A and B are shown apart, each in its own frame.
Chain A
């Protein structure tokens, strides 16, 4: 269900990293796929400007939590796929426990704003 743009909340940079990691938990995806997945799973609540994904992806690769490689999709188009590294999995496990607290925080921030 599409919500009005006004309802969508700009996502914070740190949480973006976490969402990306989480999305890739189930398997490697290319940038476009990740964007779509985040949109889908958050019930369209979180808006991701597709372009803002790329700095995050490259940063995560730099941090060593993701690895990237060009692969051909089923359609035959070569896309750059990202997958979790073992370090990335560890990071995800650590961050998962903080996820609850983040939602509360964001909720509180919004209430105050």
Chain B
């Protein structure tokens, strides 16, 4: 019955008239009844009295009649609302608790859906959309990149040589401010000794352009980068809090950084960690300064008002093409210059991963909602008799709907409460599992209110919608049908079964998509972990030591220090072997250009260059193919000899024998000049990963570290026992050679591998597996509950079948057959959908096809087995139906 507005209005206006009319009608009724009795011979007074009695309570009749008038109904409903709601709430809670299995399942499904969605949304929101809330001008900030067209990676070079940088700055007109930044660790010499901190060199306008001020003191400004300005620096909040005890009096004091007394002028706000640094010093880009000749600076800029990114992009592309001609060594054969948004330039690689995760969590939410809907519909169908009875006993439709609404609301609230808890746990888990360098350091992964509200809304709407559906269904239809029949089980049969069956099929299909994605990611991750790096990483410790300030320009002193320290380390009991190197597999040291006189080639020879000491290959257990290793003699005399990997020989020398031949390598002198220096090849080693674990190996050359000026070196130590246990002793030995030399972050090689090479794929695979697991649980829950409900509906039918001779096994198969049918359809749809969707994670996969048939088969198997198990138990219960009990009830 629709709420007819015009009728209400009419009644409202004619309310008094309606009351009068009704009073008249009732009066005329009483008179008529009294007349009848008088005609039958009753006394007039008695007749009137009897008429009144036959009528019943006049006032009550009037009130109840008024209630049928819409306005009155609304008014009285509002009047009785608070008490009514409380009653409904109590009744609702009791009703929900009476079916604990249903309530628990529904709340669980809601909670999982809400929790998972909120977690992922929180990550995405803070990482992609707003990782830099502390920079006021972030919207106008852009980054640039020189993208190698032949590379499949989406990133490119964004650091330029000082001179190159200044050329760009002078030729570009799209920006009103250009900021430069360069990472550079700084050695702080304090009263207790030396420490190394992550440092950054920034142009004077860096922080002002970004739009961030210091919270204490003042930040670095353009005036601090002027010629002759006193040396100053600012500190990160994190360093100030953790290392310097939040001491405000430090501001204005002098610190010795890299040997120079520098004044601390301010502390930056929390979450500011530009360039990953804790200490920022101003720098002025000067193309004439020889110290800056070989330095690279990151190029970022702020768009001029009115200039769009597209315009800036077009201009940059043209300018880059021009400038490339002046710096041929720095540009690939084919490249494109791009201008991209600031945030974009940093999260580019992770963006697709996040979107994929968002899609996955969306699927999970759908599965959860389908589950909840199914549970609610089943429950409602089972309550039709209750509702019919209540309504025929006088409960108005409005009150019934209100009661169901309150009950659904309670369910939704319970789900939301638990879901909120799940979300906060999830966010904490993601935060701790997030690998370094994957997302902006400044991004804070925390529970996002907007995300929570969004998920609550979705889940809440589902609960309310499907909780109320039965109200509109049953109350509209006649109340009489559900009343027929004796027990609950012999009711109208499997009502509305098609919708619920469809929901289960949808759940199965969606969960299959999640499972296949998780499956291929898992296979990919396992493949990745099992990839041969080319060395034996077990029990290896890497200890990095920067070159002490005093020795920066004295290569001989550097060499002597490292060789002496190495000798001492080798003598430690428990150390199996040790060597020195700049980089270590699977991470490379430097990219460089190569050449070989006598071998013509048209393409550029690019590869990896590493600086090593003697015994490197022995320590890492990288096999030799030809020739010999470096000797201590090579190192002491800085002999220009080189060892190359097999790929370099295959790629550059092809069929020729490389032994003894000259390989020229581009080396940057301290003056900044890049020159090709000749080295003689004395050995060839087997390939080892040098561009990460999954990227293709590059040609690589190794030269003694004494031939090239260095700023630091790492000790690679193979220990007999757990690597970190030896760290203290190793430090002791290093300090025995040079007391107080700063030792940088050191850790086991396997830890570095885990953190940098495996962490990102591991996170993706872990999250997908979690989602797929939750989805599977929900599907099992959904199949189980639906079959259980169906069986309870069809008890009568089953009893009759058994009574007329059907075998119990047939009953079993009939029940399971339902699940099989859903499974067949769901799996078909799911497989088709998966074939399309797994392509989206294809970029994350390592040596596994997105349509890997083995994974698909395994996943379908797992899903089928789970669904089968879920349907088995209620089916067994179906076979236990006693036909005598059923028939007796008829």
Do A and B interact with each other, yes or no? yes
Interface residues of A (CB under 8 A from B): 12-14, 30-32, 36, 49-52, 54-55, 58-59, 62-63, 75, 77-80, 95, 98, 101-102, 104-105, 108-109
The reply on B425 being an interface residue by CB < 8 A is no
Chain B residues with CB under 8 A of A75: 35
Complex interface residues of chain B between 56 and 77 (CB less than 8 A to chain A): 56-58, 60-62, 64-65, 67-70
A36 cross-chain contacts in B, Cβ below 8 A: 36
User: Interface residues of B, CB < 8 Å — how many?
Assistant: 39
> CB distance A49 to B56 under 8 Å?
yes
16 new A-B contacts at CB < 8 Å, known A50-B56, A105-B484? A14-B479, A30-B28, A36-B36, A49-B54, A50-B54, A50-B55, A51-B58, A54-B61, A62-B69, A77-B31, A79-B32, A80-B21, A95-B478, A98-B478, A102-B483, A109-B483
Interface centre among A32, A58, A104 (most CB of B within 10 A): A32
> B26 and A101: CB pair below 8 A?
no
Residues of chain B lying within 8 A (CB to CB) of residue A63: 1
The residue from B25, B60, B67, B69 contacting A31, defined by CB atoms under 8 A apart: B25
**Please, which residues of chain B bring their CB within 8 A of the CB of A80?**
21, 24-25, 28
Does B480 interact with chain A (Cβ within 8 Å)? yes
- Pick from A30, A51, A109: contact of B56, CB below 8 A: A51
For the complex, what is the distance from the CA of A36 to the CA of B51, rounded to whole Å? 12
Do the beta carbons of A14 and B1 come within 8 Å of each other? no
Say yes or no: B67 contacts A55, CB within 8 Å: yes
A50 in contact with B65 given A80-B28, A109-B483 (CB within 8 Å) = no
* Given A55-B64, A95-B478; A12-B7 close (CB under 8 Å): no
Chain B nearest CB: distance from A31 CB in Å? Answer: 5
User: At the interface, yes or no: B191 with Cβ under 8 Å from chain A?
Assistant: no
Are the C-beta atoms of A13 and B394 separated by less than 8 Å?
yes
Measured CB to CB, the closest approach of chain A to B54, in angstroms, equals 6
> What residues of A have a CB within 8 angstroms of the CB of B750 in the complex?
none
B814 an interface residue at 8 Å Cβ cutoff?
no
**Closest Cβ–Cβ distance, residue B220 to chain A (whole Å):** 78
A104 CA / B25 CA spacing, docked (Å): 35
A13: chain B residues at CB < 8 Å are 392-394
Name B17-46 residues within 8 Å CB distance of A: 21-22, 24-26, 28-29, 31-33, 35-36
Question: Which residues on B sit within 8 Å (CB–CB) of A30?
Answer: 28-29, 32
Number of A-B residue pairs, CB cutoff 8 Å, is: 91
Instruction: Name the distance in Å between A94's Cβ and chain B's nearest Cβ.
Output: 8
**Do the beta carbons of B480 and A31 come within 8 Å of each other?**
no
Among A49, A50, A59, A104: residue with most chain B CB under 10 A: A50
Inter-subunit contact A31/B29 (CB<8 Å): yes
With known contacts A50-B33, A52-B56, A108-B486, A98–B61 Cβ distance under 8 A: no
Identify the interface centre among A14, A51, A52: most chain B CB within 10 Å of its CB: A51
Residues of B within 8 A of A101 (CB): 480-481, 484
Taking the nearest CB of chain B, how far is it from the CB of A92, in angstroms? 13
Nearest residue in A to B21 (C-beta to C-beta)? A80
Expressed in whole angstroms, the minimum distance between the Cβ of B40 and any Cβ of chain A is: 12
Classify the secondary structure of A's interface with B. helix
B60 and A32 within 8 A (CB): no
Question: Which residues of chain B are near A12, meaning CB under 8 Å?
Answer: 392-393
Which of A36, A54, A55, A109 has the largest count of B CB atoms less than 10 A from its CB?
A: A54
Q: Are A102 and B56 in contact (CB under 8 A)?
A: no
The distance in angstroms between the C-alpha atoms of A84 and B736, with both chains bound, is 111
B58 engages A98 (CB within 8 Å): no
Instruction: Note all chain A residues with C-beta closer than 8 A to B479.
Output: 14
Residue in A closest to B62 when the chains form the complex, CB atoms: A54
Does the CB pair B68–A98 fall under 8 Å? no
- Of all chain A residues, the one with the shortest Cβ separation from B63 is A55
Collect the chain A residues with CB atoms within 8 Å of residue B393's CB. 12-13
Closest B-chain residue to A102, C-beta based?
B480
**When chains A and B are docked, how far (Å) is the Cα of A104 from the Cα of B890?**
13
Knowing A14-B392, A77-B28 are in contact, say whether A32-B33 is a contact too (CB < 8 A).
yes
Q: How far, in Å, is A67 (CB) from chain B's closest CB? A: 14
- Beyond A14-B392, A51-B58, A51-B60, whether A58 also contacts B480 by CB under 8 A is no
Which of chain A's residues have a CB closer than 8 A to the CB of B486?
108
CB pair A55–B68 under 8 Å, yes or no, is yes
Interfacial chain B residues near A79, Cβ < 8 Å: 25, 28-29, 32
Closest chain A residue to B391, Cβ basis: A14
Q: Is the CB of A49 within 8 A of B55?
A: yes
A100 shortest CB reach to chain B, Å: 10
Q: Which of B31, B58, B480 contacts A14 (CB 8 A)?
A: B480
For B61, what are the chain A residues with a Cβ–Cβ distance below 8 Å?
Answer: 50-52, 54-55
On chain B, the residues within 8 Å of A51 by CB distance are 26, 55-58, 60-61
Within the complex, the shortest CB–CB distance from B57 to chain A, in Å, comes to: 6
Residue among A55, A63, A75 with max Cβ neighbours from chain B (10 Å): A55
Q: How far is the CB of B392 from chain A (nearest CB, A)?
A: 5
Which residues from chain B contact A58 at a C-beta distance below 8 Å? 22, 65, 68-69
> 10 closest pairs, A vs B, by CB?
A51-B61, A51-B56, A49-B56, A55-B64, A50-B55, A32-B32, A59-B68, A105-B483, A32-B29, A58-B68
Complex interface: chain A residues within 8 A of B65 (CB): 54-55, 58
Give the contacting residue for B484; candidates A62, A95, A104; CB below 8 A.
A104
